[in-house]
Structure 1
């Protein structure tokens, strides 16, 4: 089968590799004919050269065929999962992080059968949306609250959209990239084109948000910017992937402001993927606004080069495998 593989940091090349066998599936696994994949911010450190994902169960690592991609949509060719049938069009996690390939073996508990009238290049957005919906479930109800989202890349824009749909009175989106062209469509009331530390320092006491979602990750500074920004008694959800084992943390400010900090990975994946599917029915414009670039899989290099250089007008980048 065909696949793309990283032959050096930030350099893809096409390759041929043995196809996985349907006969070798373990209980609960499915064999997926991959039709589309989304480039996620958590894939980018590995694109830059990191050796292996910090994700339990991942089979692939740097240099392996199909690595690094975990957001996938496609058709089931074989299944040993009791609730997923051959021929189902599904979306979810390529649990091996090996989704830039013709075929992938996936854990069925991380897949959901989506509506047949949704193209895979659109359906793939249900995976990051499911992650955001699960995170928002973990915090206090947002109705009537002031919410800030640090980072307005693909994940941050989804947080903004979901917060507004949940009834947030005000949504502030903060990013070093000017998101004034995309922010309003995602429910952002105030688009802040600034670094998060400068924004936090300039906030008047009466304008501090009650809930902050940190949607950047991959470095330690912005978590402390969230502590600086949030109001007394507020709540922070740290969503961005932590690339380091330990982070320096503004503990004194956290204590004195009586704050709550939450984080965590997405559980109950099939349930929240179904919830994401329903959310898309209620908000059909999200499908038009979110995926801004669809790139052929044989040009994975272009897709990832775009993803590591965020720009105005750019949200989700999807690879089409068809």
Structure 2
């Protein structure tokens, strides 16, 4: 069988080309991909050739936010069947290393993750018409959920894991810095968890408008109206916790200023080294917590989306067919026009 793939050869050098795809083996599933979201890591690979120490060193098929329809299953597969519509978990932990045995599978020492340049040879990704995955990676969805919505399960799982790192949000006041896809989805996760107040900051009004639809009670454009945050900085800070989703130094500083003593900051945004006002962090006894990927939260994300408890449609701002991948990546990199851009494939994302 042949499949079209979206492969990156160098900075801003994307090609749509054909390659062979094998029939699924034991424990494997052949999925016709219908929708795939362009993630921040995909954009970094496309725009910069990597991020931090992770560099693209060989052609790589991008994409890890994917959903589709099962076409065939290999021997021994009884979790899913041909015709099932599924969200595909890009994580493949080894289940054998010390972190897997401790229940920290997101820190697997031998993790394989679709569309990642961390290892060499690179792990090829899901921007293709046909993909062979392990059966445990497939989570079924019902007929009312579109493949476009199901493809948002992966970034939403990231946000659910961050929510679990934060602890109980019921009745809490929450700051979210950065209203990109992760900021918008963590806003929805916080609202679903019962946060009483959710203030979201960003530099773009369009992104903030979507954050409002996802559950923000207040939005602040920090480029146009930075003074609106002054009241949240008063008396050593007003927020019980913050989700920092931008990895921008000013946003990290703002979060530390606005969180109350012994409050919590969950860091989701990823960048290189950033300046941190350590004196303020120490003086206010703030808990600074990292949050990395997800594990069981992927299944939870699929269930929340599939049940309608979380509406992810507002963040999907554009969809492009695979043959227009270059245009899709250009639009995805323009935050004034897009939050989440998706590619569509041979399967219909409807």
1:234 is the counterpart of 2:263: yes
Structure 1 alignment gaps of length 5 or more:
none
1:14 matched to which residue of 2?
16
1:89 matched to which residue of 2?
85
1:274 is the counterpart of 2:276: no
2:48 matched to which residue of 1?
49
Structure 1 segment 91-106 matched on structure 2, within 5 A: 91-94=87-90, 95-97=113-115, 98-106=125-133
Structure 1 segment 305-316 matched on structure 2, within 5 A: 305-311=330-336, 314-316=338-340
Distance 2:87 2:184 in 1: 20
| Contact residue 131 and residue 266 of structure 1 kept, 8 A | yes
Distance 1:53 1:112 in 2: 32
Deviation (angstroms), 1:260: 0.7
Distance change (3 Å), C-alpha of 1:287 and 1:131: same
What is the RMSD computed on CA atoms of the aligned residues? 3.0
| Contact residue 38 and residue 72 of structure 1 kept, 8 A | yes
| CA deviation map 1:273-306 (0-9, x unaligned) | 3322332355467243232212111111121111
Deviation (angstroms), 1:65: 4.8
1:190 is the counterpart of 2:218: yes
Distance 1:21 1:278 in 2: 29
Deviation (angstroms), 1:81: 7.5
Deviation (angstroms), 1:109: 4.0
1:216 is the counterpart of 2:210: no
Structure 1 segment 14-93 matched on structure 2, within 5 A: 14-23=16-25, 29-51=28-50, 61=56, 64-67=59-62, 69-76=63-70, 77-79=72-74, 84-87=79-82, 88-93=84-89
Deviation (angstroms), 1:111: 3.2
Deviation (angstroms), 1:130: 1.8
State the secondary structure of the residue aligned to 1:156.
helix
Distance 2:331 2:19 in 1: 26
Structure 1 segment 241-280 matched on structure 2, within 5 A: 241-242=270-271, 244=272, 246-268=273-295, 271-280=296-305
Deviation (angstroms), 1:200: 9.2
Distance 1:263 1:83 in 2: 37
**TM-score under structure 1 length normalisation:** 0.83
Distance 2:290 2:259 in 1: 16
1:290 is the counterpart of 2:315: yes
Distance 2:282 2:47 in 1: 36
Distance change (3 Å), C-alpha of 1:216 and 1:210: same
| Contact residue 65 and residue 101 of structure 1 kept, 8 A | no
Distance 2:304 2:143 in 1: 16
| CA deviation map 1:215-263 (0-9, x unaligned) | 123x555334322332211101111234x3x544322211111111112
| Contact residue 44 and residue 51 of structure 2 kept, 8 A | no
1:133 matched to which residue of 2?
160
